[in-house]
Protein backbone atom coordinates (compact mmCIF):
# COMPACT_ATOMS: atom_id res chain seq x y z
CA UNK A 1 0.00 0.00 0.00
CA UNK A 2 2.83 2.34 0.86
CA UNK A 3 4.55 1.64 -2.44
CA UNK A 4 1.33 2.36 -4.31
CA UNK A 5 1.03 5.69 -2.48
CA UNK A 6 4.64 6.49 -3.34
CA UNK A 7 3.97 5.70 -6.99
CA UNK A 8 0.92 7.93 -7.11
CA UNK A 9 2.91 10.69 -5.42
CA UNK A 10 5.66 10.45 -8.02
CA UNK A 11 3.08 10.63 -10.80
CA UNK A 12 1.52 13.72 -9.21
CA UNK A 13 4.87 15.51 -8.81
CA UNK A 14 5.84 14.55 -12.36
CA UNK A 15 2.58 15.93 -13.71
CA UNK A 16 3.18 19.20 -11.84
CA UNK A 17 6.67 19.45 -13.34
CA UNK A 18 5.32 18.81 -16.84
CA UNK A 19 2.85 21.62 -16.31
CA UNK A 20 5.62 23.83 -14.96
CA UNK A 21 7.76 23.14 -18.04
CA UNK A 22 4.90 24.21 -20.28
CA UNK A 23 4.33 27.33 -18.18
CA UNK A 24 8.03 28.24 -18.35
CA UNK A 25 8.02 27.87 -22.13
CA UNK A 26 4.77 29.74 -22.77
CA UNK A 27 4.71 32.40 -20.07
CA UNK A 28 7.94 32.79 -18.10
CA UNK A 29 10.41 32.65 -21.00
CA UNK A 30 8.72 35.39 -23.07
CA UNK A 31 8.62 37.57 -19.96
CA UNK A 32 12.33 37.09 -19.19
CA UNK A 33 13.67 37.26 -22.76
CA UNK A 34 13.56 41.02 -23.28
CA UNK A 35 15.87 43.83 -24.36
CA UNK A 36 17.70 45.39 -21.40
CA UNK A 37 16.81 48.87 -20.20
CA UNK A 38 20.44 49.69 -19.41
CA UNK A 39 22.01 48.62 -22.71
CA UNK A 40 25.59 49.82 -23.22
CA UNK A 41 27.65 48.96 -26.29
CA UNK A 42 30.17 50.48 -28.66
CA UNK A 43 31.69 49.59 -32.01
CA UNK A 44 34.48 50.87 -34.21
CA UNK A 45 34.84 50.64 -37.98
CA UNK A 46 37.44 51.98 -40.35
CA UNK A 47 37.80 52.87 -44.00
CA UNK A 48 40.65 53.74 -46.32
CA UNK A 49 40.66 55.79 -49.50
CA UNK A 50 37.84 57.90 -48.07
CA UNK A 51 36.70 61.04 -49.89
CA UNK A 52 34.97 63.87 -48.06
CA UNK A 53 34.18 67.56 -48.44
CA UNK A 54 36.04 69.86 -46.06
CA UNK A 55 33.43 72.53 -45.36
CA UNK A 56 36.03 74.89 -43.89
CA UNK A 57 37.79 75.14 -47.27
CA UNK A 58 34.97 73.88 -49.55
CA UNK A 59 37.43 71.46 -51.12
CA UNK A 60 37.30 67.72 -51.59
CA UNK A 61 39.81 65.66 -49.63
CA UNK A 62 40.46 62.17 -50.91
CA UNK A 63 42.57 59.11 -50.19
CA UNK A 64 42.39 59.44 -46.41
CA UNK A 65 41.76 56.94 -43.62
CA UNK A 66 38.71 57.49 -41.45
CA UNK A 67 37.22 55.94 -38.33
CA UNK A 68 33.58 55.38 -37.44
CA UNK A 69 32.60 55.21 -33.78
CA UNK A 70 29.17 54.01 -32.74
CA UNK A 71 27.77 54.03 -29.22
CA UNK A 72 24.46 52.69 -27.94
CA UNK A 73 23.24 53.64 -24.49
CA UNK A 74 20.02 52.69 -22.74
CA UNK A 75 18.17 55.22 -20.62
CA UNK A 76 16.59 53.18 -17.83
CA UNK A 77 15.49 56.38 -16.09
CA UNK A 78 13.46 57.69 -19.01
CA UNK A 79 9.78 58.22 -18.35
CA UNK A 80 9.12 56.16 -21.48
CA UNK A 81 11.12 53.16 -20.21
CA UNK A 82 8.94 50.35 -18.84
CA UNK A 83 8.48 46.59 -18.65
CA UNK A 84 7.54 46.67 -22.33
CA UNK A 85 9.62 49.54 -23.76
CA UNK A 86 13.36 50.27 -23.75
CA UNK A 87 14.72 53.72 -24.60
CA UNK A 88 18.04 53.50 -26.45
CA UNK A 89 20.15 56.34 -27.83
CA UNK A 90 22.64 55.79 -30.64
CA UNK A 91 25.41 58.14 -31.72
CA UNK A 92 27.77 57.91 -34.69
CA UNK A 93 30.82 59.97 -35.64
CA UNK A 94 33.07 59.73 -38.68
CA UNK A 95 36.53 61.22 -38.13
CA UNK A 96 39.44 61.61 -40.54
CA UNK A 97 42.89 60.43 -39.55
CA UNK A 98 43.97 64.02 -38.78
CA UNK A 99 41.10 64.41 -36.32
CA UNK A 100 38.74 66.30 -38.64
CA UNK A 101 35.11 65.53 -37.86
CA UNK A 102 33.56 64.52 -41.18
CA UNK A 103 30.03 63.85 -40.00
CA UNK A 104 28.07 63.09 -36.84
CA UNK A 105 24.54 61.99 -36.06
CA UNK A 106 22.48 60.72 -33.17
CA UNK A 107 18.99 59.48 -32.51
CA UNK A 108 16.85 58.09 -29.71
CA UNK A 109 14.33 55.31 -30.23
CA UNK A 110 11.84 53.49 -28.05
CA UNK A 111 11.99 49.75 -28.70
CA UNK A 112 9.52 46.99 -27.98
CA UNK A 113 11.52 44.89 -25.53
CA UNK A 114 10.26 41.61 -27.00
CA UNK A 115 10.04 42.40 -30.73
CA UNK A 116 12.91 44.98 -30.97
CA UNK A 117 10.84 47.17 -33.32
CA UNK A 118 10.49 50.90 -32.70
CA UNK A 119 7.32 52.14 -31.02
CA UNK A 120 5.94 55.65 -30.70
CA UNK A 121 7.00 57.60 -27.62
CA UNK A 122 7.90 61.10 -26.49
CA UNK A 123 11.63 60.40 -26.35
CA UNK A 124 12.05 59.75 -30.08
CA UNK A 125 14.50 62.19 -31.65
CA UNK A 126 17.07 62.73 -34.38
CA UNK A 127 19.96 65.02 -33.44
CA UNK A 128 17.90 66.04 -30.40
CA UNK A 129 14.95 67.15 -32.53
CA UNK A 130 11.59 65.33 -32.18
CA UNK A 131 11.19 62.66 -34.84
CA UNK A 132 9.37 59.45 -35.72
CA UNK A 133 11.65 56.40 -35.66
CA UNK A 134 10.31 53.26 -37.32
CA UNK A 135 11.35 49.66 -37.91
CA UNK A 136 14.40 47.94 -36.46
CA UNK A 137 17.41 49.96 -35.36
CA UNK A 138 20.56 48.55 -33.75
CA UNK A 139 19.24 45.08 -32.92
CA UNK A 140 17.03 42.43 -34.49
CA UNK A 141 14.23 40.50 -32.75
CA UNK A 142 14.79 37.39 -30.67
CA UNK A 143 14.36 34.44 -32.98
CA UNK A 144 15.30 36.36 -36.12
CA UNK A 145 13.84 34.63 -39.16
CA UNK A 146 15.16 34.10 -42.66
CA UNK A 147 13.09 36.87 -44.19
CA UNK A 148 13.27 40.59 -44.97
CA UNK A 149 13.01 43.23 -42.24
CA UNK A 150 12.45 46.99 -42.39
CA UNK A 151 15.50 48.67 -40.85
CA UNK A 152 15.79 52.33 -39.90
CA UNK A 153 18.31 54.66 -41.51
CA UNK A 154 19.03 57.82 -39.53
CA UNK A 155 20.50 59.80 -42.44
CA UNK A 156 17.32 59.57 -44.51
CA UNK A 157 14.98 59.23 -41.52
CA UNK A 158 13.32 56.33 -43.34
CA UNK A 159 13.16 52.56 -43.26
CA UNK A 160 14.39 50.36 -46.09
CA UNK A 161 14.17 46.57 -46.38
CA UNK A 162 17.13 44.53 -45.22
CA UNK A 163 16.92 41.43 -47.36
CA UNK A 164 17.96 38.02 -46.05
CA UNK A 165 20.86 36.81 -48.19
CA UNK A 166 22.06 33.64 -46.47
CA UNK A 167 23.84 32.00 -43.55
CA UNK A 168 27.50 32.44 -42.66
CA UNK A 169 29.95 31.78 -39.83
CA UNK A 170 31.97 34.44 -38.05
CA UNK A 171 34.61 33.10 -35.68
CA UNK A 172 32.60 29.87 -35.42
CA UNK A 173 29.31 31.66 -34.73
CA UNK A 174 26.39 30.99 -37.08
CA UNK A 175 24.86 34.24 -38.31
CA UNK A 176 22.32 35.46 -40.86
CA UNK A 177 23.48 37.96 -43.46
CA UNK A 178 21.13 40.78 -44.48
CA UNK A 179 21.78 43.38 -47.18
CA UNK A 180 20.07 46.76 -47.17
CA UNK A 181 20.16 48.87 -50.33
CA UNK A 182 19.37 52.54 -49.77
CA UNK A 183 18.74 54.18 -53.15
CA UNK A 184 19.68 57.76 -53.92
CA UNK A 185 17.58 59.90 -51.60
CA UNK A 186 17.48 63.68 -51.26
CA UNK A 187 18.07 64.32 -47.56
CA UNK A 188 18.11 68.13 -47.66
CA UNK A 189 18.80 71.16 -49.82
CA UNK A 190 21.56 73.68 -49.32
CA UNK A 191 22.85 76.79 -51.06
CA UNK A 192 26.39 76.33 -52.34
CA UNK A 193 28.71 77.97 -54.87
CA UNK A 194 27.79 76.86 -58.39
CA UNK A 195 31.23 75.36 -58.96
CA UNK A 196 30.75 73.08 -55.96
CA UNK A 197 27.51 71.80 -57.45
CA UNK A 198 29.10 71.16 -60.84
CA UNK A 199 27.75 74.32 -62.54
CA UNK A 200 30.65 76.81 -62.47
CA UNK A 201 28.75 79.36 -64.56
CA UNK A 202 26.38 79.93 -61.65
CA UNK A 203 27.50 82.02 -58.70
CA UNK A 204 25.42 79.95 -56.29
CA UNK A 205 22.67 77.35 -56.54
CA UNK A 206 20.21 75.55 -54.29
CA UNK A 207 21.66 72.05 -54.53
CA UNK A 208 20.21 68.75 -53.37
CA UNK A 209 22.22 66.68 -50.93
CA UNK A 210 21.79 63.13 -52.23
CA UNK A 211 22.60 60.09 -50.10
CA UNK A 212 22.81 56.38 -50.89
CA UNK A 213 24.27 53.40 -49.10
CA UNK A 214 24.69 49.64 -49.15
CA UNK A 215 24.71 48.07 -45.71
CA UNK A 216 25.50 44.46 -44.88
CA UNK A 217 24.36 43.23 -41.47
CA UNK A 218 25.38 39.99 -39.76
CA UNK A 219 22.88 38.90 -37.10
CA UNK A 220 22.95 36.06 -34.57
CA UNK A 221 19.39 34.71 -34.98
CA UNK A 222 18.57 33.38 -31.51
CA UNK A 223 19.43 36.61 -29.68
CA UNK A 224 18.96 39.07 -32.55
CA UNK A 225 22.32 40.64 -31.73
CA UNK A 226 23.86 42.61 -34.59
CA UNK A 227 27.31 41.05 -34.54
CA UNK A 228 28.94 43.32 -37.13
CA UNK A 229 28.18 45.34 -40.24
CA UNK A 230 29.74 47.05 -43.22
CA UNK A 231 28.64 50.17 -45.07
CA UNK A 232 29.38 51.95 -48.33
CA UNK A 233 27.82 55.43 -48.00
CA UNK A 234 27.88 57.98 -50.83
CA UNK A 235 26.70 61.56 -50.34
CA UNK A 236 26.98 64.10 -53.16
CA UNK A 237 25.74 67.54 -54.19
CA UNK A 238 23.40 67.69 -57.16
CA UNK A 239 22.53 70.86 -59.05
CA UNK A 240 18.94 71.73 -60.09
CA UNK A 241 19.70 70.57 -63.64
CA UNK A 242 20.75 67.12 -62.37
CA UNK A 243 24.49 67.71 -62.60
CA UNK A 244 26.42 65.85 -59.91
CA UNK A 245 28.85 68.07 -58.05
CA UNK A 246 31.22 67.60 -55.15
CA UNK A 247 31.35 64.47 -53.02
CA UNK A 248 30.45 65.13 -49.41
CA UNK A 249 31.37 61.60 -48.35
CA UNK A 250 32.26 58.39 -50.15
CA UNK A 251 33.70 55.45 -48.25
CA UNK A 252 33.61 51.76 -47.49
CA UNK A 253 33.61 51.04 -43.77
CA UNK A 254 34.14 47.67 -42.09
CA UNK A 255 34.25 46.82 -38.39
CA UNK A 256 37.60 46.37 -36.70
CA UNK A 257 38.72 42.90 -35.64
CA UNK A 258 38.26 43.89 -31.99
CA UNK A 259 34.69 45.01 -32.66
CA UNK A 260 33.87 41.78 -34.52
CA UNK A 261 35.28 39.64 -31.70
CA UNK A 262 33.38 41.66 -29.10
CA UNK A 263 30.20 41.29 -31.16
CA UNK A 264 30.67 37.53 -31.38
CA UNK A 265 31.23 37.29 -27.63
CA UNK A 266 28.17 39.42 -26.86
CA UNK A 267 26.04 37.40 -29.27
CA UNK A 268 27.18 34.07 -27.82
CA UNK A 269 26.47 35.27 -24.28
CA UNK A 270 22.99 36.50 -25.17
CA UNK A 271 22.24 33.41 -27.27
CA UNK A 272 23.18 31.10 -24.38
CA UNK A 273 20.97 33.04 -21.95
CA UNK A 274 18.01 32.93 -24.31
CA UNK A 275 18.56 29.22 -24.99
CA UNK A 276 18.77 28.45 -21.26
CA UNK A 277 15.53 30.24 -20.47
CA UNK A 278 13.46 29.28 -23.50
CA UNK A 279 14.75 25.76 -24.27
CA UNK A 280 17.16 24.14 -21.83
CA UNK A 281 15.27 24.93 -18.62
CA UNK A 282 11.79 23.88 -19.81
CA UNK A 283 13.21 20.75 -21.46
CA UNK A 284 15.09 19.79 -18.29
CA UNK A 285 12.00 20.31 -16.13
CA UNK A 286 9.86 18.38 -18.63
CA UNK A 287 12.37 15.51 -18.75
CA UNK A 288 12.43 15.29 -14.96
CA UNK A 289 8.64 15.40 -14.84
CA UNK A 290 8.32 12.65 -17.42
CA UNK A 291 10.87 10.53 -15.57
CA UNK A 292 8.93 10.89 -12.33
CA UNK A 293 5.64 10.01 -14.04
CA UNK A 294 7.14 6.85 -15.57
CA UNK A 295 8.80 5.90 -12.28
CA UNK A 296 5.55 6.49 -10.41
CA UNK A 297 3.58 4.30 -12.80
CA UNK A 298 6.16 1.51 -12.51
CA UNK A 299 6.16 1.68 -8.70
CA UNK A 300 2.35 1.70 -8.57
CA UNK A 301 2.05 -1.29 -10.92
CA UNK A 302 4.63 -3.29 -8.97
CA UNK A 303 2.85 -2.54 -5.72
CA UNK A 304 -0.39 -3.95 -7.17
CA UNK A 305 1.42 -7.07 -8.34
CA UNK A 306 3.02 -7.53 -4.93
CA UNK A 307 -0.31 -7.13 -3.15
CA UNK A 308 -1.92 -9.74 -5.40
CA UNK A 309 0.83 -12.27 -4.66
CA UNK A 310 0.52 -11.59 -0.93
CA UNK A 311 -3.24 -12.20 -1.02
CA UNK A 312 -2.71 -15.46 -2.88
CA UNK A 313 -0.09 -16.70 -0.41
CA UNK A 314 -2.29 -15.99 2.61
CA UNK A 315 -5.39 -17.85 1.36
CA UNK A 316 -6.25 -21.33 2.93
CA UNK A 317 -5.26 -24.37 0.92
CA UNK A 318 -8.11 -25.91 -1.06
CA UNK A 319 -8.79 -29.64 -0.74
CA UNK A 320 -8.49 -31.36 -4.07
CA UNK A 321 -11.80 -32.39 -5.54
CA UNK A 322 -11.98 -36.12 -6.03
CA UNK A 323 -14.04 -37.71 -8.74
CA UNK A 324 -13.32 -41.23 -7.50
CA UNK A 325 -16.34 -43.37 -7.10
Question: Does a structural domain hold residue 285?
Answer: no
pTM, two decimals, is 0.81
Within-domain flag for 27: no
**pLDDT for position 286:** 62
Per the prediction, the chain carries an average pLDDT of: 87
- The more confident residue out of 63 and 286 is 63
Instruction: Report the pLDDT value the prediction gives residue 291, as an integer from 0 to 100.
Output: 73
The pLDDT of residue 93 is above 90: yes
Mean pLDDT value of segment 221-226: 96
Mean pLDDT along residues 81-90: 97
Mean pLDDT of all residues in 134-150: 97
Q: Which of 26-35, 95-104, 144-153 has the lowest mean pLDDT?
A: 26-35
Read off the pLDDT band of 227 (50, 70, 90): very high
Stretch 267-288: mean pLDDT: 75
Query: From the CB of residue 199, how many other CB atoms can be counted at a distance below 10 Å?
Result: 18
Q: How far apart are CA 37 and CA 81, in angstroms?
A: 7
The secondary structure element, H or E, covering residue 215 is: strand 204-219
> Quick check: 318 pLDDT over 50?
no
In a domain, 267, yes or no: no
In a domain, 243, yes or no: yes
Which one has a higher pLDDT value, 7 or 152?
152
pLDDT of residue 80: 97
Give the distance, in angstroms, between the CA of residue 130 and the centroid of all CA atoms in the same chain.
25
Q: Is residue 279 part of a domain?
A: no
Average pLDDT of the segment spanning 295-321: 55
Percentage of the chain lying above the pLDDT 70 cut:
77
Cβ atoms 149, 161 nearer than 8 A: yes
Of residues 280 and 274, more confidently modeled: 274
> Does 313 score more than 90 pLDDT?
no
234-266 pLDDT per residue, tens: 999 999 999 999 999 999 999 999 999 999 999
Rounded to whole angstroms, how far apart are CA atoms 154 and 122?
17
Residues near 324 by beta carbon (within 8 Å), at least 6 away in sequence: none
Q: Does residue 271 belong to any structural domain of this protein?
A: no
Q: Give dist(CA 159, CA 234) in Å, integer.
A: 17
User: What is the predicted pLDDT for the residue at 160?
Assistant: 98
> How many structural domains comprise the chain?
1
Q: What percent of the chain has pLDDT over 90?
A: 72
* pLDDT digit string, tens, across residues 164-190: 999 999 999 999 999 999 999 999 999
Which residues have a Cβ under 8 Å from the Cβ of 53 and sit 6 or more positions away? 59, 60, 61, 246, 247, 248, 249
- pLDDT given for residue 241 in this prediction: 94
pLDDT band at 320, cuts 50/70/90?
very low
Identify whether 101 is part of a domain.
yes
- From residue 7, alpha-carbon distances to 11, 119, 294, 307, 311 in Å are 6, 52, 9, 14, 20
| Domain annotation covers residue 272 | no
Amino acid sequence: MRRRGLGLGLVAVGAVLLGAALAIRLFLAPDLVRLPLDQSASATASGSDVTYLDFSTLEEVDGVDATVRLTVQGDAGSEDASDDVAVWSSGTTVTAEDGTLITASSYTACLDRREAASVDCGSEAIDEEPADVDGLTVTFPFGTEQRDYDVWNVTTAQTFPARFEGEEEIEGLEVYRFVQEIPETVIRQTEVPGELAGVPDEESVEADVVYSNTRTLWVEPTSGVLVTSSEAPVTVLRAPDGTTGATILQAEFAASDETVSAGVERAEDNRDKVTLISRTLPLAVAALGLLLVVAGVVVALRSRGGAHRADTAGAPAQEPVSFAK
